[in-house]
Amino acid sequence: MSATGETKAITPPDIRARKGRAPLVCLTAYTTPIARLVDPHCDVVLVGDSVGMVLHGLSSTLGVTLDMMIMHGQAVRRGLVRSLMVVDLPFGSYEESPVQAFGNAARLMAQTGCAAVKLEGGEKMAETIRFLCARGIPVMAHVGLTPQAVNTFGGYRVQGRGEDAERIRRDANAVTEAGAFSVVLEKVPEPLAKRITAEIAVPTIGIGASLACDGQILVSDDMLGLFSSFRPKFVKRYAELGEQADAAIAAYAADVRRRCFPAAEHLYTHEARAGDVT
């Protein structure tokens, strides 16, 4: 709360300062209603490119465009008051060069009002992260399993086992040194997450990376149980809204077929009655 009584929005420096302190709470949002629901409870709200799979029915995040991210970013912005809003740079929008990344990140920030962008990749993206940070664009990095590289990995497999752990460790250190204010660790073994969290100076945000991280993030739709067929091991279901919605829709369909809906209380008459305004 500010001195004027207004709610103060969380900033990238605020997130960076949370290293080793109270765990960071992070969730995704793609729409205004969901943004309004998560905002009072979260430190970071991510408009992830997972929107392509969650809302658009794509098989991966690779088909997500910058225009899609801008549209969903604008919707989420309307629903936030306090949480830090971060928007993903989609596949193909930043890998070519730091200059390309800056142009698209600047457009993303200008058109959505987000306070930071997220991009995937470790050592190979360090130069780009440094370029963006030097020009006023805060960056959340993402290492470990990076979904935009799913074809390279051969699927959504755990990363950092055995000798591969050193690669992930180098990636995390490289993006931190380049200026990222936080690092998402996805689908890596707990010992590796613990080591990286102890080594780097910025918060780690885990998704399938254990309690060792400085914070946690999940896709809201997974956590709320909106998709019964998709159950990653690292997701805890806090509700089963998909099942509840299915039952509600089935009840509505049955009422319509039995001509039970609309009932008398849902109808308008020639004369005004209490409740007719709505």
**Residues annotated in a binding site for 3-methyl-2-oxobutanoate:** 49-50, 88, 118
pLDDT digits 0-9 by tens, 70-108 = 999 999 999 999 999 999 999 999 999 999 999 999 999
Q: Where are the domains of the chain?
A: 12-240
Show the tokens assigned to 106: 């600047």
Helix/strand/coil for 163: helix
**Residues annotated in a binding site for Mg(2+):** 49, 88, 120
Q: Which of 201, 180, 82, 87 is nearest to 138 (CA)?
A: 180
User: What number does CATH give the domain 12-240?
Assistant: 3.20.20.60
Cβ-based neighbours of 277, under 8 Å, separated by 6 or more? none
pLDDT digits 0-9 by tens, 109-155 = 999 999 999 999 999 999 999 999 999 999 999 999 999 988 887 77
Which residue in 123, 166, 186, 199 is the catalytic one? 186
Per-residue confidence band for 156, with pLDDT thresholds at 50, 70 and 90: confident
Angle at 232 between CA 21 and CA 212, to 5 degrees: 20
| pLDDT reported for residue 269 | 85
| pLDDT reported for residue 19 | 98
Cβ-based neighbours of 80, under 8 Å, separated by 6 or more? 9, 35, 36, 39, 45
* Continuous H helices in the chain: 12-16, 32-38, 51-54, 66-77, 98-112, 126-134, 150-153, 165-178, 190-199, 220-223, 241-257
Q: What is d(CA 140, CA 183) in angstroms, rounded to the nearest whole number?
A: 6
**Residues annotated in a binding site:** 49-50, 88, 118, 120
Confirm whether 123 is a catalytic residue: no
Say whether pLDDT at 26 is over 80: yes
Average pLDDT, the chain: 94
What is the model's pTM?
A: 0.93
